[in-house]
Amino acid sequence: MIFQFTAPPLPHYMICGEDTYQVGDQHPDRYNIGVFDLILVTKGALFLEENGVAYRVKSGCHLILRPDAAHRTYLPCQEETHFYWLHFQTCGRWIETEELTLFALSQTDQPIVQIESFSFYIPKYGELPSIEQARLLIEQFQNLQPLSSSSARWKQEQLLHELLLLFQAEEDGIQHQNPQYAIAERTANYLRQHYKEPVSYQRLSDAMHFHQNYLSICMKKTFGCTPLEYLTRHRIEQAKRLLIHTNDPIGRIAEESGFGSFPYFIRCFIRYTGFKPKSFRQKYRS
């Protein structure tokens, strides 16, 4: 199982600590604690169960417990066991899944929104190759714990992102094993690079070396839209930025954003924003 987080926003740090259990000790049973509980064992083993699934978390392994589930110890420690624990949470969307899932483009009322939001994947359970690096990061968390300054909190957030990146690196292989995900990422990158130019399905197919129908399947599964829908949304975002930050004529903005037809630009802009370009500019420039 893996956790899929949609960012922004990125997860934020809560608190961390460490414990050493003796033979016969056990982790407390808890339910719906409201935070993700990341456990990293450096010696011995913990025997934990969440929603009926048992995990033997041995030295060098980690387990992330859900904020909304019940977990318990199914077997006391059989030897002296040392582990670090860290609580984090997110204000963004997340799911627990067995595979890469549909990525939905975010909807918001904000005038400028970059659609290049992304999902990242953290394994729920497994062995961490860089256990020593993770331990050093957690020790930095602990050193900052007594401090209440904003700079200390800022550093803790940076450390959390570094720590999660260690787990994300472990998960890169899963993403690369999914060819549709990789093709969709390449296609989206190509569209962002060439949005000012005329892009047809034939041109895209030639550039990606895949049939246009397969490219559409990959994009829909990864981004929730077809390649040309993705391209149109990206062009609209560029037009919104130019309308707010420049005094360029609307016709020129349409051209700079990649729309070859001015009437088509107006129709698309109204469909995606609910405003005519002139009204949009007046709303956010006044």
The answer to whether residue 286 scores a pLDDT higher than 90 is no
Helix (H, G, I), strand (E, B) or coil at 251: helix
Q: Give the global pTM.
A: 0.71
The model's pLDDT over 218-272, given as tens digits with 9 standing for 90+, comes to 998 888 899 999 999 999 999 999 999 999 999 999 999 999 999 999 999 999 9
Output the CA–CA distances (angstroms, integers) from residue 226 to 105, 172, 183, 200, 213, in the order listed.
Answer: 12, 25, 13, 12, 10
The model's pLDDT over 61-74, given as tens digits with 9 standing for 90+, comes to 999 999 999 999 99
The model's pLDDT over 78-133, given as tens digits with 9 standing for 90+, comes to 999 999 999 999 998 898 887 655 454 444 455 555 555 677 888 999 998 888 99
Q: Which domains does the chain have, with CATH numbers?
A: 2-175 (2.60.120.280), 179-285 (1.10.10.60)
The model's pLDDT over 138-184, given as tens digits with 9 standing for 90+, comes to 999 999 988 889 999 999 999 999 999 888 755 555 555 578 888 99
Residue 255 has phi, psi (to 5 degrees) of -65, -45
How many residues in the chain? 286
* Predicted pLDDT of residue 8: 81
Q: Which of 65, 33, 64 is nearest to 134 (CA)?
A: 64
